[in-house]
Amino acid sequence: MKVFQVANIYPAHLARLGPALSQCDGADAATAMILADVPQAQILAPCIGDNPDGQLCFPQHQDGLRLWALSRGMPQDTSADDILLAQIEEHGADVFYSTNATRHSKIFLGRMPGCVRLKIGWLGSEIVGTGVHHFDAIVSNFPTLNANHAKAGLRTYYLSPSYETQTDVTGYVPWPERRCDLFFAGTYSRHHQKRARLIEDVSRTAANQSFSADFRLLNSRHTRLAETTPLGLFPPFSKVRRPLSVRRFAKPPTFGRDMFDLLGNARIVLNMAIDIAGRDRGNMRCFETLSAGALMISDEGDYPDGFVDGETHVTYRDTDGALARVQHYLNKPEKAATIARAGWDMIRQRYSKARQWQDFVTLVGSLGSVRGKSS
């Protein structure tokens, strides 16, 4: 079975890699450079490495698409969608798999080459765009979200990420050797009120308790103006002006290998799920944190198989509970290290690349049977 996978890279991450990518002399070299730096938990095993049955593309990197088109003698004005379709056809893919189902239009999916038997898309968010109803399967590891999408007419199935293989670069760092007591990375804005309150309360506690904290925050585009000019005293800028306690620990967002190095050298990582998933837990930070061997302190909910509160991670009910657990486990390093190591072991055993690929193969087989019965 040949799989063509479309993967993601954040615009800010792509911009950081821009200078190095500009030195690549071909599309394959550019893809390899991006792959070496991005999260890989959602990328299927055959699409990593030299397996001819898998091919990977990051269409956000427009220059990479152009390099590929140029090497095939395609006109300079060929659209990005046409280049991507040509790549799929050249690969002879049986399955088209996108880790961002919302980026593809109905028109694009309707123009798939004849070799493609199945179109599968990951959707871990609300339904957006014209294309999601034109996949043969929509997948995620959020049962409640899948059920809601099924009610909207999508054909949904459960599929899990693997452990984050990028954390193998750093390896397991023993608890005493980790540089940071508390780490958080994510969006901080007025649209994430619960998360903002948690970060604010934790930052005040960190200042009072004198433990080290590192918050890598993705802020509003107006935050810099709000915090460096008098505009921050007035609406709407005052709404994105962060408290002094947060600014004390806040640093610019980080991505890729840099992020995984920070995770791998953090003792505790704070996590909070998004509201759209309901009680379902298992966002990518869960897989990344356990893969990095840090102790995850996260909100209560229904976690994927193998995630056990008090054994592989720790949960909290509210902000006060989160603060209490952070302080407790910083004062009980041996207990914290035991839980963190159990999480490291579990995530690699239960969520290996081999298992992820086998689950995908099983899904494809079941979809083939369904299509066969309906044709």
- Cα separation, 246 vs 265, in Å, equals 21
Q: CA nearest 292: which of 314, 270, 260, 315?
A: 260
Beta strands, E only, the chain: 3-6, 54-57, 95-98, 118-122, 137-140, 156-158, 180-187, 213-218, 250-251, 266-271, 295-299, 314-316
Looking up residue 70, the CATH number of its domain turns out to be 3.40.50
The CB-side HSE value for 52 (13 A sphere, CA atoms) comes to 2
Range of the domain at 15: 3-162+352-374
Same domain, 345 and 356: no
Query: Is 185 found in the same domain as 112?
Result: no
Strand partners, 215: 184, 250
On whether both 71 and 191 belong to a single domain, the answer is no
d(CA 91, CA 63): 20
Task: Looking at the structure, tell me whether residues 184 and 148 fall in a common domain.
Answer: no
What spatial distance separates the first Cα and last Cα of the chain, rounded to whole Å? Answer: 21
Q: How far apart are CA 301 and CA 115, in angstroms?
A: 42
Give yes or no: residues 214 and 106 share one domain: no
Same domain membership, residue 33 and residue 110: yes
Q: How many CA atoms lie within 13 A of 164 on its CB side?
A: 31
The rounded distance, in Å, linking the Cα atoms of 160 and 287 is 10
- Asked whether residue 195 falls in the same domain as residue 83, the answer is no
pLDDT in tens, the chain (375 residues): 999 999 999 999 999 999 999 999 999 999 999 999 999 999 999 999 889 999 999 999 999 999 999 999 999 999 999 999 999 999 999 999 999 999 999 999 999 999 999 999 999 999 988 899 999 999 999 999 999 999 999 999 999 999 999 999 999 999 999 999 999 998 877 666 778 888 888 888 887 777 899 999 887 777 777 667 787 777 878 877 778 888 888 899 999 999 999 999 999 999 988 666 789 999 999 999 999 999 999 999 999 999 999 999 999 999 899 999 999 999 999 999 999 999 999 999 999 999 999 999 999 999 985 454 433
| Number of domains observed in the structure of the chain | 2
pTM score: 0.92
Q: Are residues 143 and 200 in the same domain?
A: no
